[in-house]
Structure formats: C-alpha cells, structure tokens
Amino acid sequence: MSATIALLEELVGFDTTSSRSNLALVERVADRLDGIGARVRLSHDEGRSKANILASFGPRAPGGVVLSGHTDTVPVDDQNWSSDPFRLSERDGKLHARGAADMKGFIAACLAAAEGFATADLARPIHIALSYDEEVGCLGVQGLIDELLAQEEKPELAIIGEPTLMRLGDRHRGFLGFRTRFEGRAAHSSDPSAGASAIYPAAEFAGFLRAVGHRAGAIDRTTVNLGRIEGGSAINIVPSACELLWEFRPVTPEDADETERLVASYLARATPPEIRQSTQRHVHVPPLSCAADEPALAVAALLGGIGPPFAMPFGTEAGFFQAAGISPVVCGPGSIAQAHQPDEWIERSQLAAADAFLARLAGFAARRQS
C-alpha cells in the first residue's frame, strides 16, 4: 500500500480543479503507464487544454475490464482547510487532500496495480480509463468511450471507482442541466409599461420548477433544483434579460422525457408574447439501473466488493458505459460524504481494500476461460 499512498501524494499535488487544465497530471500518468508497457492514448478537448487517458494491458480481445475514474476535482475556494489542500497530510490514519476520496485515491490504486497488470499473462485486457471534466457534467467520458471502442475490442465490464466504501453501487438517477433565458425590453422604471420585464416571467418559471420539484424528494424519485438566477442591472431599470440555471435528476429515461415535456409545455403557454424565451440543455448524465444478474456486479463481488448492491444518491459516469453496452458497477475506496468537503480525506484501510480488490482483478483477468 505504500506505493498507492506515494502515488496519491503525487496526484493530489496537481491542481486539477475543473476550471484548470489537467495536462500536467495527464502527461505524468501517461509517461508512467507507457513506461511499463501499456498501450497509451490521449484524447483532448477542443481547446487541447484537457485530455482523457486510455491505457490498455493484455491482448486486443473482447471480454475486457475497464477501470474508470476522473482526473478533475471541485474547487477549494471559500473552504476553510486545516492544511494545504494540494499536499497530502495524515492525521489519525486519515489522508487529507483535495481529491483524496473523489477520486484520486482510486486512480492511485489503479496506477499501483498497473505494474501487476503489465507482467501478468492476461487472458482478457484491462483498461485504465481516466476522463476530464466529470465534475462539471461528465464532458470527457463520451469521447473516452468512443476512443476505447475505436481502438480496442469491446470490453465486457466497467468498474467505476467513485467512493462507495467499496460497496457495490448498482443504480443512481441521471442529471440534466439547463439554461433558460428570458429577454424583454428595457425602460425607465418611472414607466414600467414602456418596457417588458424579463424577471417577472423568470420568477413565475422559478415557482413552477419548485412545484415540479415538490412532486418527489428521495433518491428513487425525480427531483428538480433551481441553482442560479441572474438578471437586471439597476433598481430603476426595467430588466431586459434574466437567466436561470436549473437541473433535474431522473430515475429513468422515461422520467427524463416526461419532465422535459412538462417544462416545455409550461414555457410555451406561460411565456408572455412580448418576451423571448430560450432553453438549452448543457449537461446530460444518464441514469444507471443494473439488473440483478448484471455481470459487473457478480465480478466485482468476486473481487471483494461489498454487497448487497445499493442505490447511490450521486451521479457517475457509469450510465455512459451502460449505454455503450458495457456492463457497469460503481465500487471504489473512500466515502462520498467526504467528497467536495474541506479537509477531504480517505482512510488508509480503504486504500488497502482497493489494492486487494485490484490484485484479485489481475488474477481474474489472467484466468484462462474454458
């Protein structure tokens, strides 16, 4: 485990907040994996300031296993940390740093296990797949999966190493994010009738979203949240524009379609004729729903994942793998309760559990099938 902790110390030293480039970390990890014989490929975003990493071990054959993680983290701004968030520090068996739990601990364990993957006589390939910009809408993972399917035989399984305390996560809601903009006409506030306020229809839409959100409230129900409203310029000007950022989390694709139709119907009938309205979807993370006989669940349990499977309150990239026909499970070290928090931490014991899990994976992939 000392190798995993040393790698975690190195990884958290890279500030890969989603608003920043991850290339320094990517280049370091790619060099390490290339040096031990992996087939390494990078796929960049349009600005070439960020990249995914795909590293493959073993034969070019079907039936492979993907170890999926994301390299980006959430910001530390406005958080009160007891120590430098980009330097690993240990207190009472807890390793503190931004990304320690979410999810550089899992990545460190994968990198430590990679030398074993490289030397094992693998019957089925193992792929380490690390994406960019998961925290701002899973922006990199689709390109990563496309690269995987274009360059390698289709894998059978994907293990997404988000922090679950090594429990088996088999379902979660999706996430759809939207930007709705109302545009009216500015005027002096001494005669509001000379203008068309964009804030009033925006406020009514906010109330509508609240009513829709009150239909549910648990992890097995679709929920709605309005995260931001911005509009107007001065107290004595009729506001010409107002923008809302909002999201909902569906349990199934059918829930997503129903909610989008409900919102579109409201906006079509309730937007005043003097107001222009536009709504754009800018984030789409599909839900995850695994069958009881999901192959990835059985394999992850064999490797040491803790059952019974449970519903996760947070979204992951697992639904993208499922949509690509790759059987997914979410299982990784650390607790989601520590994610995005000041003084984020992961326990040594969790990293040890991840190391044991990945060591068994090497044996599973090397086992010749009859």
- Residues 38 and 57: beta-carbon distance below 8 Å: yes
Q: Which of 94, 115, 109, 91 is nearest to 32 (CA)?
A: 115
State the SS3 of 87-146.
CCEEECCEEECCCHHHHHHHHHHHHHHHHHHHHCCCCCCEEEEEECCCCCCCCCHHHHHH
Query: CA-CA-CA-CA torsion for 281, 134, 122, 305, nearest 10 degrees?
Result: -100
- Residues 202 and 276: beta-carbon distance below 8 Å: no
Query: How are beta strands 327-330 and 157-160 bridged, if at all?
Result: parallel
Q: Check 72, 162, 255, 344 and give the catalytic one.
A: 72
- Residues 53 and 33: beta-carbon distance below 8 Å: yes
Q: Check 9, 15, 102, 134 and give the catalytic one.
A: 134
Q: Which of 47, 334, 300, 29 is nearest to 168 (CA)?
A: 300
CA–CA–CA angle 46, 11, 152 (5° rounding): 55
Beta carbons within 10 angstroms of residue 266's beta carbon: 16
Per the annotation, the verdict on 15 as an active-site residue is: no
Q: Which of 319, 272, 329 is nearest to 295 (CA)?
A: 329
Tokens of 9: 């110390």
CA–CA–CA angle 357, 334, 139 (5° rounding): 95
- Residues 320 and 286: beta-carbon distance below 8 Å: yes
Per the annotation, the verdict on 153 as an active-site residue is: no
Q: What is the dihedral sign for C-alpha 141, 86, 105, 310?
A: negative
Q: What is the dihedral sign for C-alpha 301, 310, 320, 70?
A: negative
Q: What is the dihedral sign for C-alpha 130, 131, 136, 137?
A: negative
**Catalytic residue numbers?**
72, 134
